[in-house]
């Protein structure tokens, strides 16, 4: 058994379902070959260079312990650590949950999903098995990189036991829209599993969006510029389009052996334009649609008979999963049919191969092909497209790629198709075959500029850089968090002072939010904490809120502390009589109210609150995503109007408030501070409006934000419970 690997700082512990090497038993001998599949081909060529190690399944069930040990030792030489799966685990975890639930769901095939609870049980167990296999090699400083949908629970499994290590996760396939993801009975667990990571990456922006939508819709997590907060830990979600090892494909294409083999292929199919497709056998690759489009081309262009060839290379994949078995039969039938109908002596329109090719042979095919044709119905990235481009060093060619492959977003000089539109696709294929040399070269050169820059090395570096950045941010955040040390410092300056101003926001700071604002009433703990503080004559406790003064008066009117309402418009300092800041106009209200009314009529669940000198549009009860969208539109309209009215528009927590610019919490707080001239100021708030106080108060003030958002406050606490704990501890 391996123990305590010495992974250098430059290295990473990679964990994926499949190792980049697969082992097969051929005539009772073990054969080690490179795995197919995007992740293995992408990272497999260079992970060892920086001292990384890779944990995964070698694709074989050892006959006995002796064989298992032999495999371990052989793999160890390649920096690989095997996780062996039993037949039952392969059925339940790999073929079942991974490839009969997650794969079809992520590729928009809900009807292929087999929601069997036993698949989930196996998935949970095997994810634990992978995490357990990794744990002995993980120190607190180790960088762990988990890959793909088969291991979505592993980040959480590792995080539970290794709190501070860096964990990245990359999802190589699409992430479905929330409507599909929500179908899964285990949706919460899967998301929570991923959120054990510090950085979560996807190939495209669309996937990032879908994932964040699910986090918000399923777990009710709000994101802030692609970052999420879990148990006080900040997590980043970002786009990292994967590249290929460009130099490797380029060099292989220029190799003499490759060129000779490519020439041989050309001679074999002399006078025929070779249209190449290369994929794993998978319904997501649009193989049937491709065959239909090719048939249409043959039908519409009899003059091309004998002049073109579809060279279709398919690598066997997941052949024990129902939908894959069916697909294989359908492809066999369709290819046979097209060849039978259109073929003639000396020419078959389709050359179909169902096997895996060694690298040099694949490279020769790329070199020989006049067109590379990618028809994915949905594909995370599609590396074949990029491999083809890298291989076109001395020969020309055209890439025809589906708009549903992630790679199409980068390769704008390729011919982009909708593979479902089979007639149009066949016409695009015709254009590709007949394209002028000059245009081919132009398009290929621009594509090469992109593929050679955004390589797999670039991808790894970028991902690791972002992982380090987020870890640094987490460390920084930790220092800002009010914990034992910070609390002791606050207490000692509190104890050393004689005139203390304590400014407290109300909603989100002293009490939690409630969908019904009237129900967010003060709790016994709130009264206790504030009463306790007020007992000390050196303290001036002040609640400073956006609420109407009537609200504050009804809850706290009989208390010794002071109240400031409507962001500073009303105050009962110094004699507990309410008074208004003079000179404020309300003439703007009618016009703004009309706009708010229009949005309220269009947005079920939203409401308008009229205060004496402000208007607030609440959307806490509106379906989250819809509410946010409506709020964006409303903000835009209000800002436009505000060019004339010159009001303050506050984008708060599920509320947009419009008020006179002359008053804000910052001005109210500093005015009060100037009047009483305290030697200690504590100010706590959670909202955008509280930022005005954090900015306006003197630097010596202790400012605390509730919830760790971007803030001008010096410190933060997680929630209102922590606020009350802190206040209670000061009162002691
Ligand atoms: N017959 C054959 N012989 C030898 N090699 C063969 C072969 N057929 C295919 N391959 C190789 O297998 C790889 C396939 O990678 P793809 O990106 O095209 O799809 P895949 O679905 O496996 O990858 C998943 O991961 C990748 C990487 O993230 C995403 O691009 C993709 O969308 C996602 O589904 C290529 O490197 C290709 O060269
Ligand atoms: O053959 P599989 O099932 O390991 O799939 C390989 C693909 O790269 C999955 O992303």
Banded pLDDT at 115 (limits 50, 70, 90): very high
The residues pairing with 278 across neighbouring beta strands, listed in sequence order, are 313
Q: Rounded to an integer, what is the distance from CA 262 to the centroid of its chain?
A: 41
Q: Which ligand is nearest to the CA of 384?
A: 1
- ipTM of this predicted complex? 0.97
Q: Is residue 279 annotated as a catalytic residue, yes or no?
A: no
Nearest 10 degrees: Cα torsion 670, 673, 679, 682:
-70
Q: Which tokens sit at 46?
A: 């260079």
In this structure, the strands spanning 579-580 and 607-610 are: unpaired
Nearest-atom index, ligand 2, CA of 94: 3
Write the pLDDT tens digit of every residue in 550-573.
999 999 999 999 999 999 999 999
Residue 2 pLDDT > 70, yes or no? Answer: no
Residue nearest to atom 26 of ligand 1 (CA): 38
Q: How many residues does the chain have?
A: 732
Distance from Cα 281 to the centre of ligand 2, integer Å:
10
Q: What pLDDT, on a 0 to 100 scale, did the predictor assign at position 35?
A: 85
Distance from Cα 323 to the centre of ligand 1, integer Å:
19
Residue 356 CA: distances (Å) to CA of 312, 314, 320, 612? 12, 7, 17, 75
Write the pLDDT tens digit of every residue in 187-214.
999 999 999 999 999 999 999 999 999 9
In this structure, the strands spanning 570-571 and 579-580 are: antiparallel
Q: What pLDDT, on a 0 to 100 scale, did the predictor assign at position 12?
A: 92
Q: Which tokens sit at 74?
A: 């052989």
Beta strands in 468-565 (DSSP E): 500-504, 539-544, 562-565
Q: Which of 21, 170, 278 for mutating ligand 1's site (highest number of atoms within 8 Å of CB)?
A: 278
Please say whether the beta carbons of 333 and 287 come within 8 A: no
CA gap 96, 396 in Å, rounded: 43
User: Which residues does 302 contact at the CB level (< 8 Å), separation at least 6?
Assistant: none
Residue 592 CA: distances (Å) to CA of 167, 504, 632? 48, 29, 16
Q: Which tokens sit at 541?
A: 């406790």
Q: Which tokens sit at 479?
A: 């220092």
Least confident of 29-38, 603-612, 648-657: 29-38
Phi, psi of 490 (to 5 degrees): -60, -45
Residue 3 pLDDT > 60, yes or no? Answer: no
Residue nearest to atom 6 of ligand 2 (CA): 37
Please say whether the beta carbons of 511 and 523 come within 8 A: yes
Residue nearest to atom 23 of ligand 1 (CA): 38
Q: What pLDDT, on a 0 to 100 scale, did the predictor assign at position 697?
A: 98
Query: CA nearest 301: which of 396, 432, 438?
Result: 432
Banded pLDDT at 37 (limits 50, 70, 90): low
CA gap 134, 56 in Å, rounded: 10
Residue nearest to atom 2 of ligand 2 (CA): 37
Write the pLDDT tens digit of every residue in 475-504.
888 778 888 889 999 999 999 999 999 999
CA gap 278, 385 in Å, rounded: 9
Tell me the CB-side half-sphere exposure of residue 335, using CA atoms within 13 A. 19
Q: Rounded to an integer, what is the distance from CA 639 to the centroid of its chain?
A: 31
Distance from Cα 124 to the centre of ligand 2, integer Å:
19
User: 426-450 b/e with 16+ CB inside 10 Å = b?
Assistant: bbbbbebbebeeeebeebbeebbeb
Residue nearest to atom 5 of ligand 2 (CA): 37
Mean pLDDT of 726-732: 88
Question: For the chain, how far is it from start to end, CA to CA, in angstroms?
Answer: 56
Nearest-atom index, ligand 2, CA of 18: 4
Q: What pLDDT, on a 0 to 100 scale, did the predictor assign at position 515?
A: 80
Nearest-atom index, ligand 2, CA of 38: 8
CA gap 17, 97 in Å, rounded: 13
Distance from Cα 425 to the centre of ligand 1, integer Å:
22
Distance from Cα 418 to the centre of ligand 1, integer Å:
20
Nearest-atom index, ligand 1, CA of 282: 21
Q: What pLDDT, on a 0 to 100 scale, did the predictor assign at position 261?
A: 97
Write the pLDDT tens digit of every residue in 502-536.
999 999 999 998 888 888 999 999 999 999 999 99
H runs (alpha helix) in 561-684: 589-602, 624-645, 665-676
CA gap 563, 576 in Å, rounded: 8
User: In the structure, how many helices (H) and strands (E) does the chain have?
Assistant: 26, 28
Query: CA nearest 471: which of 141, 138, 718?
Result: 141
* 3-class secondary structure, 417: strand
Residue 646 pLDDT > 90, yes or no? Answer: no
Write the pLDDT tens digit of every residue in 340-355.
999 999 999 999 999 9
In this structure, the strands spanning 655-660 and 647-651 are: antiparallel
To the nearest whole percent, how much of the chain has pLDDT over 90?
85
Query: CA nearest 190: which of 227, 218, 158, 231?
Result: 218
Q: Which tokens sit at 730?
A: 């000061």
C-beta neighbour count of 659 within 10 angstroms: 25
Write the pLDDT tens digit of every residue in 258-287.
999 999 999 999 999 999 999 999 999 999
Residue nearest to atom 7 of ligand 2 (CA): 37
Nearest-atom index, ligand 1, CA of 244: 36
Q: Using CB atoms within 10 A of its CB, is residue 358 exposed (0-12), middle (13-18) or buried (19+)?
A: exposed
Tell me the CB-side half-sphere exposure of residue 493, using CA atoms within 13 A. 15
Structure letter (DSSP) for residue 347: B
Q: Which of 279, 316, 369 for mutating ligand 1's site (highest number of atoms within 8 Å of CB)?
A: 279
Q: What pLDDT, on a 0 to 100 scale, did the predictor assign at position 625?
A: 83
Mean pLDDT of 314-322: 92
Q: Using CB atoms within 10 A of its CB, is residue 189 exposed (0-12), middle (13-18) or buried (19+)?
A: middle
> Annotated catalytic residue: which of 505, 686, 687, 690?
505
Please say whether the beta carbons of 180 and 44 come within 8 A: no
Residue listed under structure tokens 């503080």: 533
Please say whether the beta carbons of 159 and 167 come within 8 A: yes
Residue 4 pLDDT > 70, yes or no? Answer: no
Mean pLDDT of 234-252: 95
* 3-class secondary structure, 261: helix
Q: In what order do the strands lie in the sheet with 233-239?
A: 80-82, 53-57, 13-18, 143-147, 166-171, 199-202, 233-239, 227-230
Residue listed under structure tokens 């998978």: 282
Q: Which tokens sit at 108?
A: 């928009």
Residue 45 CA: distances (Å) to CA of 38, 42, 248? 12, 7, 9
CA gap 387, 455 in Å, rounded: 11
Q: Using CB atoms within 10 A of its CB, is residue 649 exposed (0-12), middle (13-18) or buried (19+)?
A: middle
pTM of model > 0.90 = no
The residues pairing with 539 across neighbouring beta strands, listed in sequence order, are 500
User: Which residues does 525 contact at the CB level (< 8 Å), separation at least 6?
Assistant: 724, 728
Long-range own/partner contacts, residues 245-249 (CB < 8 A, 24 or more apart): 245/42, 245/45, 245/46, 245/455, 245/456, 245/457, 246/390, 246/451, 246/452, 246/455, 247/455, 248/45, 249/363, 249/366, 249/387, 249/390, 249/391
Mean pLDDT of 538-552: 96
CA gap 289, 283 in Å, rounded: 10
To the nearest whole percent, how much of the chain has pLDDT over 70?
99
Long-range own/partner contacts, residues 440-446 (CB < 8 A, 24 or more apart): 440/396, 440/397, 440/398, 441/396, 442/413, 443/398, 443/399, 443/413, 443/414, 444/389, 444/392, 444/396, 444/397, 444/398, 444/413, 446/413
**Higher pLDDT residue, 518 or 235?**
235
Please say whether the beta carbons of 240 and 465 come within 8 A: no
Least confident of 38-47, 364-373, 620-629: 38-47
Write the pLDDT tens digit of every residue in 89-104.
999 999 999 999 999 9
Indicate the average pLDDT of the chain: 94
User: Which residues does 180 contact at the CB level (< 8 Å), separation at least 6?
Assistant: 105, 108, 110
* 3-class secondary structure, 481: strand
Write the pLDDT tens digit of every residue in 681-714.
999 999 889 999 999 999 999 999 998 677 899 9
Q: What pLDDT, on a 0 to 100 scale, did the predictor assign at position 38?
A: 66
Q: Which of 23, 34, 38 for mutating ligand 2's site (highest number of atoms within 8 Å of CB)?
A: 38
Mean pLDDT of 419-439: 98
CA gap 257, 252 in Å, rounded: 9
Q: Which tokens sit at 604?
A: 């079920």
Tell me the CB-side half-sphere exposure of residue 273, using CA atoms within 13 A. 20
Q: Which of 36, 201, 385, 410 for mutating ligand 1's site (highest number of atoms within 8 Å of CB)?
A: 36
């Amino acid at each position: 058994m391996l123990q305590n690997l010495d992974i250098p700082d430059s290295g990473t512990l990679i964990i994926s379902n499949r190792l980049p090497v697969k082992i097969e038993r051929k005539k009772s001998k073990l054969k080690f070959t490179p795995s197919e599949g995007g992740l293995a081909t992408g990272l497999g060529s260079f992970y060892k260079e920086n001292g990384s190690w890779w944990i995964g399944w070698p694709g074989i069930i050892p006959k006995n312990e002796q064989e298992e040990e032999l495999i371990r030792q052989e793999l160890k030489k390649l920096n690989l650590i095997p996780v062996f799966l039993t037949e039952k685990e392969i059925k339940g975890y790999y073929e079942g949950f991974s490839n009969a639930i997650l794969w079809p769901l992520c590729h928009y095939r809900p009807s292929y999903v087999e929601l069997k609870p036993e698949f989930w049980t196996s998935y949970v167990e095997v994810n634990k098995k992978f995490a357990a296999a990794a744990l002995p090699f993980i120190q607190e400083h180790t960088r762990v990189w988990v890959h793909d949908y088969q291991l979505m629970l592993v980040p959480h499994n590792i995080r539970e036991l290794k709190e501070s290590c860096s964990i990245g996760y990359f999802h190589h396939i699409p992430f479905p829209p929330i409507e599909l993801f929500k179908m899964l009975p285990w949706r919460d667990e899967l998301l929570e599993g991923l959120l054990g990571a510090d950085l979560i990456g996807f190939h495209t922006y669309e996937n990032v969006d879908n994932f964040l939508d699910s986090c918000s819709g399923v777990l009710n997590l709000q994101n802030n510029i692609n970052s999420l907060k879990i148990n006080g830990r900040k997590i980043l979600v970002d786009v990292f389009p994967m590249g290929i090892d460009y130099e490797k494909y380029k060099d292989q294409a220029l190799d003499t052996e490759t060129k000779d083999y490519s020439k041989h292929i050309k001679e074999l199919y002399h006078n025929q334009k070779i249209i190449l497709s290369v994929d794993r056998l998978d319904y997501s690759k649009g193989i049937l649609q491709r065959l239909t489009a090719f048939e249409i081309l043959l039908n519409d262009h009899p003059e091309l008979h004998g002049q073109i060839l579809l060279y279709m290379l398919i690598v066997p994949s997941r052949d024990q999963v129902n939908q894959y078995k069916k697909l294989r039969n359908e492809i066999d039938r369709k290819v046979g049919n097209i060849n039978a109908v259109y073929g003639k002596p000396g020419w078959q329109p389709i050359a179909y191969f169902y096997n895996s090719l060694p690298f040099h042979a694949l490279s020769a095919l790329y070199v020989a092909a006049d067109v590379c044709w990618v028809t994915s119905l949905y594909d995370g990235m599609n590396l074949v497209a990029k491999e083809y481009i890298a291989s076109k060093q001395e020969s020309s060619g055209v890439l025809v790629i589906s708009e549903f492959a992630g790679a199409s977003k980068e390769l704008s000089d390729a011919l982009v198709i909708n593979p479902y539109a089979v007639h149009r696709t066949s016409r695009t294929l015709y254009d590709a075959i007949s394209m002028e040399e000059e245009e081919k070269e132009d398009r290929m050169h621009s594509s090469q500029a992109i593929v050679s820059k955004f390589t797999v090395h670039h991808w790894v570096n970028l991902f690791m850089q972002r992982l380090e950045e987020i870890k640094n941010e987490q460390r920084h955040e930790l220092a800002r968090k009010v914990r034992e040390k910070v609390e002791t410092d606050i207490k000692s300056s509190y104890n050393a002072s004689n005139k203390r101003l304590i400014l407290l926001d109300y909603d989100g700071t002293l009490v939690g939010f409630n969908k019904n604002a009237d129900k967010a009433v003060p709790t016994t703990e709130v009264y206790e904490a504030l009463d306790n503080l007020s007992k000390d004559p050196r303290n001036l406790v002040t609640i400073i809120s956006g609420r109407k003064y009537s609200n504050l008066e009804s809850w706290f009117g009989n208390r010794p502390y002071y109240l400031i309402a409507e962001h500073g418009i009303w105050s009962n300092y110094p004699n507990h009589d309410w008074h208004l800041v003079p000179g404020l106009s309300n003439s703007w209200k009618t016009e703004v109210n009309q706009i708010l009314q229009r949005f309220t009529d269009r947005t079920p669940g939203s409401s308008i609150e009229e205060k004496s000198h402000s208007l607030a549009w609440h959307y806490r009860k509106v379906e989250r995503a819809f509410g946010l969208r409506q709020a964006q539109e409303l903000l835009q309209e209000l800002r436009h109007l505000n060019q004339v009215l010159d009001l303050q528009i506050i984008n708060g927590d599920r509320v947009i408030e419009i008020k006179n610019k002359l008053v804000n919490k910052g001005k109210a707080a500093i005015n009060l501070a100037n009047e009483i001239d305290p030697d200690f100021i504590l100010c706590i708030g959670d909202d955008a409006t509280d930022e005005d106080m954090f900015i306006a108060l003197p630097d010596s003030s202790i400012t605390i934000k509730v919830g760790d958002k971007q803030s001008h406050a010096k410190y933060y606490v997680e929630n209102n419970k922590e606020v009350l704990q802190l206040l209670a501890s000061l009162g002691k």
